[in-house]
């Protein structure tokens, strides 16, 4: 199953916020269809590293970095640090960051999932099947099928977390960057999300930050300590 192909190659990466250096000469290969866990003490730069991988770091004016991040997109190798700002939306469809704070939008369940499709100019009539498929993929469909037009705020914490994952998955990303995906969940819900993450590995490559040791041991094919 694991092809051992490198999908992301990070070379000599340095990151500064203003004049303070956060990441120093970091090198890492991320293997396709694997789960890589990023571990290290609080404040060491784990989230910042994920933000570099899909270049969301450029949104921070006080951030600067050097080094390379190569993304193997089918047969093409792209240096993401060299992309123009115009090319970034396309990159962020392929490498999706899921924040540790479930950023539910003030819309219905179905509108939350339609949102990324709308940005891609996909028609509502073409979206319905995609929405059902992705809800099934995150094992949420049976719980919400009768209330797709109700506010997403009414969902439980674990349901919201699965909705956020579904929203990340609806554009079929190549790489999923998960920042503490179970931080606010109880043990039972965390286990559900962990099982889901293991299933997702078949479809995409996962980089995960977690401060739960047992979670890292359960999920990770490799662990990168900063």
Ligand X SMILES: Nc1ncnc2c1ncn2[C@@H]1O[C@H](COP(=O)(O)OP(=O)(O)OP(=O)(O)O)[C@@H](O)[C@H]1O
Is 43 an interacting residue with respect to ligand X (CB under 6 A)?
Answer: yes
Which stretch, 38-46, 102-110, 115-123, 190-198, contacts ligand X (CB under 6 A)? 38-46
Of 45, 102, 116, 173, the one binding ligand X (CB under 6 A) is 45
48 vs 112, beta carbon nearer ligand X: 48
What is the length of the chain?
226
Of the candidates 139, 145, 137, the one whose C-alpha atom is nearest the C-alpha of residue 173 is 137
Of 1, 4, 19, 42, the one binding ligand X (CB under 6 A) is 42
User: Nearest distance from residue 192's CB to ligand X, in Å?
Assistant: 23
Of 8, 33, 34, 46, the one binding ligand X (CB under 6 A) is 46
- What is the separation, in whole angstroms, between the first and last Cα of the chain? 28
Strands in 5-128 per DSSP E: 6-17, 20-31, 35-39, 63-73, 76-79, 95-98
6 vs 14, beta carbon nearer ligand X: 14
User: Nearest distance from residue 87's CB to ligand X, in Å?
Assistant: 23
Of 33, 34, 36, 48, the one binding ligand X (CB under 6 A) is 48
Strands in the chain per DSSP E: 6-17, 20-31, 35-39, 63-73, 76-79, 95-98, 175-179, 205-209, 222-225
User: Nearest distance from residue 157's CB to ligand X, in Å?
Assistant: 19
150 backbone dihedrals φ, ψ, rounded to 5°: -85, 160
Site for ligand X in 15-34 (CB under 6 A): 17, 22
Which stretches of the chain bind ligand X, using CB under 6 A?
A: 17, 22, 40, 42-48, 60, 62
């Amino acid at each position: 199953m694991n092809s051992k192909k490198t999908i992301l190659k990070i070379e000599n990466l340095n990151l500064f916020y203003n004049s303070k250096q956060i990441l120093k000469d970091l090198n890492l290969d991320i293997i396709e269809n694997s789960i890589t866990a990023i571990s290290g003490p609080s404040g060491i730069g784990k989230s910042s590293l994920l933000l570099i991988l899909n270049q969301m770091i450029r949104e921070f004016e006080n951030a600067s970095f050097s080094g390379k991040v190569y993304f193997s997109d089918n047969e093409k190798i792209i240096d993401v640090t060299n992309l123009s700002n115009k090319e970034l939306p396309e990159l962020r469809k392929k490498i999706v960051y899921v924040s540790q704070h479930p950023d539910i939008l003030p819309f219905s369940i179905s509108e939350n999932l339609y949102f990324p499709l709308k940005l891609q100019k996909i028609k509502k009539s073409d979206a319905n099947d995609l929405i059902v498929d992705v809800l099934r993929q995150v094992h949420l469909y049976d719980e919400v099928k009768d209330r797709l037009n109700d506010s997403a705020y009414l969902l439980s914490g674990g349901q919201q977390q699965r909705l956020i994952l579904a929203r990340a998955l609806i554009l079929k990303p190549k790489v999923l960057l998960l920042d503490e995906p179970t931080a606010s969940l109880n043990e039972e819900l965390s286990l559900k999300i962990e099982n889901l993450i293991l299933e997702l590995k078949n479809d995409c490559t996962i980089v995960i930050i977690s401060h739960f040791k047992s979670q890292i041991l359960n999920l990770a094919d490799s662990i990168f300590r900063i």
